[in-house]
Structure formats: C-alpha cells, structure tokens
Amino acid sequence: MKKFNKVITAILALILASISCQAWQTSGLPGVPATTSTPAMTAGPTIQAPVFTSSQPYKITGTFKSTSEIGGEFSDNVLYAERQVILVDLHGFITRNKEWEVPVNSQVIGHVQYDPKNASGFYELILPGIPQGTLNDVDNNGQQNAGVEVFVMDYEPNIANDPFLSGDDRLRGWPGNQSSIKTNPDDDGEVTGGKLIVYAPESGEGFPTGFGADGKLFTADDPIAPLQAGYSVINLDTNPFTVSQSPEAELPLYEAPDAGPKDYSKDSYTQSFDNLLKFLSTEYAFNGIDGKQPDYQQLIAQIRPRVEQAEKDKNAQAFYAALRDLTYAFKDGHVGVDGGDLSSQDFRTNYSGSLGFTVRVLDDNQVLVNSVLSGGPAEKAGMKIGALITQFDGKSVMDAIQAQTLFFGNKSSDVSILYSKAVVLTRTKPGAVANVTFKNPGGQEKSAQLTSIPEVDSLLKELGYDKSEALLPVELQTLTVDGKDIGYIKINSNLDDLNLILRLFERGLKKFQEQKVAGIIIDLRKNSGGVNLGLAGFLTDQEIPIGLLEYYDSTQGKFAAKDKADRIIANQNQYRFDEIAVLVGLSCASACELEAYGFSKVPGAVVVGQYPTGGIEAEVSKGQIKMPESISMQFPTGRKVLEDGSLFLEGVGVQPTIKVPVNAENVLTSEDIILKAAQNAILGK
C-alpha cells in the first residue's frame, strides 16, 4: 500500500506540473501587512550600528509573508538560495520611468532570516552614513532645489552575478511586490501606501504630505512640508503623511494586491461555484478567443445542478468531480484542479486499471502498440509490440481515442491533446472490460476481450515520469561523435534554484567554448517550466521580443496591455558557437517554451523534435483559486499576444525545424533518435 501511495503521489505531482506555469509570483491581501510580528527563527548575525551625531533612523527591520500556493518567491522549491533585502532608489517611480535602472552605488543590502515552513521572513538593514541615491526635487515650488533621496525596502534575492541589482539581474523602474510600498497594478503601478525612507542633505527640503487631489504621489498637486536633515521614515498610510526620525524603524514588506489566491474556500459549494464562474467569465485569459473561451452559460446549466446536489448530499467527492469536469471544458494546459485525497481516490477508482498495453499515434494516424505488459491481459491475448490497433470497443481506434477525457491535465494544442488521449485509452477501472481488435506484425487481424488489472508503471513511463530524478537542474556533458566534440546541456527544470541554473548553464557555455566544440545541443524535452530566465541572452547580443502580456482591464472593459512587449535581453557575458541544436517535445511547457523560443531565434540555431513544445503559454499567478474541501484550481488570467493581436505560442508551441518522424521504426527503437538527429545536424550529415 505504501508503494502504491508513492506512485499516486508521483502521478499527482505530474498532474500539478502539467498545470503549473512560468514566472511564479507571490500573493497577498490588498493594503494589509502580511504580518506584524517576527516569526520564530534561529538567531542571525549581530549587526553593530554606526554612531550618529543626531537622532535619525539607522536600523530598518521588517517582516514579510507569502500566501502563494503555486511555488513562487517564497516556496519550498528552492528558487532563491541567496535571499536578501535591498535599499532601492525610487527615482524610477518619481519620474515614472519604467526603463530606469537602479544604480548599483545606491544599493545597500540587508540580511534576511527566512522560515520556509511558514513562508515568512524577517530582515535587518543598517542605513549608510551618507546614501548614494538620486536627488529628486519634489517640492513643486518652481525653483531648482537640491532635493531629497527617496528609497524603499525591497525583497530582491540574488539570481545572477554579484548580490546587487546589476548586470544580468538588474531592476528597472520600481518595485511592485514584497516591498515597503503598496502599489496598484490596475493603475500602472501607482503608489497607494506603505512607508518610504527619505534622506534630506539639509533641513528645509520640501516633501509631500499627501497624495493631492489626483490621488497620486509626486505630482504637481501634492501638499508639501519641509523635512529635517538626515533620514526620515514617511508613513503614506496616514492623512497627512507622518514623519518619524526614530533611530530604529519597522517597515513591513507588502505583497502585490492582485497576487493572492481567490479564496472561496469558506463559501458553500454553490456559492463558491458561482463566484468562480463570475471570475472566469470576466478574467479568464482567453475570453473572446475562438476555440478557447467555453460557453459559460452552458457550463452553468450542466455543472451547477451537480454542485447543488453535492451540497445537498454533503458529498465532497461529487463536488470535486463536478469541478474536474468543469476544467475539461477548457482547451488550456494551464487549467487544472487539485483535490488532494479526492484526486487520488478519483485516480484509484477510474484510472488505476491497465489493459496491459500502451499505444502511440503515428504521423499517418495509425495506432501502434509501443509496449506490452509482461503477463498482462494484452500479452495473454497474443498481442505483441508493433501491433496495429484498428478497433476499440466497437469504434474505430481513432474515434475511441478522440472520445477520451484528459484526467492527467488539460492540454492546449491539438497534437498534445491527441498524444495524451492515446495515453488514457488503455487506462480504466480495475476489472473493466474492453474489446480490442489488433493486427500483429506479419499476422492476421484478431479481436480480444481484455479485462484490466491494477498497474501504474506503464502509465508513469508514458507520462514521462523518471524514477531517477535528476540531482541538478542543469546537466553538462561533452559528447564525442565521429571524432568531434559536441557540448550537451540538459536543462531539467526552471523550477529550481535559479541562481544555480544560471551558473551551471553559463559554466557549460564557457567550458564548451574553451573546448572549441563543433556545436552545442540544448535539451529541453523534460523541462515542464517554472521561471523564464531568458537563457538565450547568453548566445546573442540582440533583444528577442517574446510577446505582449494582456490582462482584463475593468476600466476599459476589455483585455489590454499595460507595458510594452516582454523581451529577452542580451547578457553581459556572450558566447558563440557555430552550430546550436535545441531539443523539444510536448513536455516542454510554459516557461520552458519561452526558453525554447528564445533559443530558436539565435542566429543559426535549429529546433529538433518529433513534436513541438506543449503550446501552453499564459500567466497564472493571479488565477489561483481556493475552493471548499481543500480543493485548489488554476486558471490563467494573462495572455501573451503578438503585435497583430494573435496569441503567442499558446496552442501552437515552438515547432521543430528538423522534425523527426513519428513512425513505427522510430517509436519502437531504444535509441535516442532525436539526440542523434541533432548530432547529425551539428556535424552536417
């Protein structure tokens, strides 16, 4: 039983991976500090305060907490190994310049104690005697004054290079999440509250005491009052603002108000369902897109009566099943439901049985048996590897495949849906019976009645689950083919220590360049996504546009972009190779697809695979949902589009430029034919 439970856990982990996504972000409650008390932690290093000749702040402390459910900045997934806070110059916001880069010489780093169990932390920072920020004349008196330096505290873990926000890990504009200010993402990141640290070189410099009639900070209608020289902490949550020069100040860090999960868990079944549908009908990322937006009224008519009945019967399993079937209406790989034990029970009841064989749909739409379970029902009926399936339960096998539902995660592209439905074809309830017609290689067509048995190993293999989990997110190897060296970089995950991913990847590039290899292969086939790191920036000095991110804008009543298109920016360190091959497959999803797309745009690169990437590209941090019975759901709320308004990657993915055929010979071989095709491409074969 213990072994079976481990298998279920592995399967559910795969389900969650299939609905997870890129660039995880944290979440929180609008305008409310996450915590006001310091979490219990081990003692950190003692920080000695400098001696000041006047009474003013020198020591800043604070707390932070995440309510994220999807593995963002504060998850147990060790995305950030080097956690820190930084005193950040707010000149970018004061000038409303989102491209302004925070200068390194203005930055001061503080120590963080982090409690992963409670996803919370405590920080300390000692202010410098004389800060090196940018002076801003904000007194609106029409005269040229020296001005003041304005700072915020910001949680900024180190990802690349040195600990400061510089080089490949720079900050443009101003912080909007886990900083000492509160911002409004629906109003272009305008500051709405929180606390600032202000340094006045001399007494009498003017500073706002309120937001003014326009409700915005650092604009012409702000009321102004003079500051004392030195440091001051400005509380923006009072009216008028209050100023403190106490030696020690507490500045809690605030989560972005739109980053928290929508919590309907305390509602009744029907109330939570109604709230969910109201949210989706407005903010689901692909509303208005043909083939993507479901018929919400039809869903309500079909699903709500089941929810009502489940509530009447107090039947949690029935409630979960209704929500699961709701997700089936979305052709979207980011949509999913996790019911915990309810999902496990669903699997045990409906999918833990195997007919003893698995199939693969070939390019010519023939359905080939690619594995037969030793001693299983199919083998006992005489089925052999390489057999062609023609009929299944009285239907043509392709019709039978198309009729399947996708228990193991929704999909976005037709090719991915077909592949996944073929996996589900031979999964059923233990003891269920299916009539299968097949033709062995060189044999005659025959039919057999197969009774399923409990078995999961073949399913895990088809889903790509590898029991020997990689110890590192990036693996490096030099391959010697026909006497020539080829650099091989396998990126297993973008949901791991991001600093380590970057360092290992760049180390591979550096070493392979030193070795003067014939080319490099970048293998993304098993990478299910996480955080897009723009790794292609090491291989080109040109920016690579990666789509414009749109969200529903309630003021306009439509989806709209607030910023210009995202882009991959050239890294400071550059590496060049004569030949580059990128290996892709359907398991490469979300952030992995952005990486694959970036690599595909490097001059001279080729993309190799039997299938494209998963075609699952959207933003999900604002679409986390808590439902009753500890059920969690995910729906994307941000979509990426091209300049012409068409979707970017969603439903299409990154297509191979060298397509390896899905035919009987390639499906049945034990050789890594995709890797071989990449090697041949690099060697000019």
pLDDT beyond 50 at 334: yes
* Omega before residue 240 within 30° of 0, cis: yes
**Same domain, residue pair 484 and 450:** no
Give the model's confidence band at 52: pLDDT under 50 very low, under 70 low, under 90 confident, else very high.
very low
The per-residue pLDDT for range 352-391, each reduced to its tens digit, is 999 999 999 999 999 999 999 999 999 999 999 999 999 9
pLDDT at 653: 97
Give the model's confidence band at 5: pLDDT under 50 very low, under 70 low, under 90 confident, else very high.
very low
CATH number of the domain residue 539 falls in: 3.90.226.10
pLDDT at 466: 67
| Alpha-carbon gap, residue 254 to 241, rounded angstroms | 18
Contact by Cβ (8 Å): 61, 250: yes
**Same domain, residue pair 435 and 504:** no
Contact by Cβ (8 Å): 253, 62: yes
Residue at a domain's end among 455, 486, 517: 455
**Same domain, residue pair 94 and 144:** yes
Angular region, 332: left φ>0, alpha ψ -120 to 50, beta rest: beta
Residue 289 lies in a domain: no
Residue 13 lies in a domain: no
- Note down the domain range covering 589: 474-682
**Same domain, residue pair 480 and 449:** no
Contact by Cβ (8 Å): 403, 422: no
**Same domain, residue pair 37 and 127:** yes
Q: What's the average model confidence in pLDDT over 521-532?
A: 94
Residue 269 lies in a domain: no
Residue 283 lies in a domain: no
DSSP structural state of residue 167: G
Contact by Cβ (8 Å): 426, 355: yes
pLDDT at 38: 39
pLDDT beyond 90 at 147: yes
pLDDT at 19: 38
CA dihedral 595, 596, 597, 603 (to 10 degrees): 100
pLDDT beyond 60 at 297: yes
pLDDT beyond 60 at 472: yes
Q: What's the average model confidence in pLDDT over 283-298?
A: 96
| Alpha-carbon gap, residue 575 to 537, rounded angstroms | 9
Amino acid found at 641: V
Q: What's the average model confidence in pLDDT over 199-224?
A: 95
Q: Give buried/exposed letters for 282-316 (b at 16+ CB in 10 A, else e).
A: ebbbbbebeebbbeeeebbeebbebbeebbeeebb
**Same domain, residue pair 494 and 405:** no
pLDDT at 1: 37
DSSP calls for 194-210: EEEEEEESSTT-EEESS
Q: What's the average model confidence in pLDDT over 315-335?
A: 97
Residue 262 lies in a domain: no
**Same domain, residue pair 439 and 540:** no
pLDDT at 68: 57
Residue ranges of alpha helices (H) inside 20-119 are 91-94
Residue 519's CB is within 10 A of a number of other CB atoms, namely 23
**Same domain, residue pair 612 and 509:** yes
Residue at a domain's end among 225, 250, 275: 250
Let me know the angle formed at the C-alpha of 527 by 653 and 622, rounded to the nearest 5 degrees.
70
Q: What's the average model confidence in pLDDT over 609-633?
A: 95
pLDDT at 355: 98
Tell which wins on pLDDT, 21 or 611. 611
| Sign of the dihedral through C-alpha 230, 236, 238, 239 | positive
- Weakest-pLDDT range from 38-47, 124-133, 451-460, 621-630: 38-47
| Alpha-carbon gap, residue 430 to 416, rounded angstroms | 26
pLDDT at 394: 95
**Same domain, residue pair 220 and 113:** yes
Number of domains in the chain: 3
Contact by Cβ (8 Å): 392, 425: yes
Tell which wins on pLDDT, 455 or 80. 455
Please, what is the average pLDDT of the chain?
89
| Alpha-carbon gap, residue 30 to 75, rounded angstroms | 20
Residue 460 lies in a domain: no
Q: What's the average model confidence in pLDDT over 266-290?
A: 97
Percent of the residues in the chain that have a pLDDT greater than 70, as a whole number: 90
Q: How many helices (H) and strands (E) would you count in the chain?
A: 14, 37
pLDDT at 78: 66
CATH number of the domain residue 435 falls in: 2.30.42.10
Residues 6+ away with beta carbon under 8 Å from 358: 369, 370, 371, 423, 426, 458, 461, 462
Retrieve residue 37's tokens: 């008390």
Tell which wins on pLDDT, 653 or 172. 653
Residue at a domain's end among 250, 280, 302: 250
**Same domain, residue pair 216 and 141:** yes
Residue 674 lies in a domain: yes
The per-residue pLDDT for range 83-117, each reduced to its tens digit, is 999 999 999 999 999 999 999 999 999 999 988 87
The per-residue pLDDT for range 396-450, each reduced to its tens digit, is 999 999 999 988 877 999 999 999 999 999 999 999 999 999 999 999 999 999 9
**Same domain, residue pair 526 and 409:** no
**Same domain, residue pair 651 and 533:** yes
Contact by Cβ (8 Å): 140, 155: no
Residue 371 lies in a domain: yes
